[in-house]
Structure 1
């Protein structure tokens, strides 16, 4: 659990949008929160977010 949280935090700091988009539906709420934060803060293409959302359903 700690490793995933640290990786998500590093992805936010490093602006690694792809890693964070893939964590939108992570079972860990801390990792999910980092991913959702990135959607609001990083310049992410809408089609990437929509593509990931379609995979979650």
Structure 2
């Protein structure tokens, strides 16, 4: 039987850990990744870097 944490993850209530970013200096985007502390599911997204000239 699944524990209470696994049931919450099945309902979509994950416990996301710290976000980690990958940044290539020649690129203008950052790839972010987070992992659920209970089930290990990964969430990834890409953001545009902020303009440094401002």
TM-score by length of 2: 0.32
Q: Which has the higher strand share?
A: 2
Q: Which has the higher helix share?
A: 1
TM-score by length of 1: 0.31
Q: Which of the pair has the greater relative contact order for Cα pairs under 8 Å at 6+ separation?
A: 1
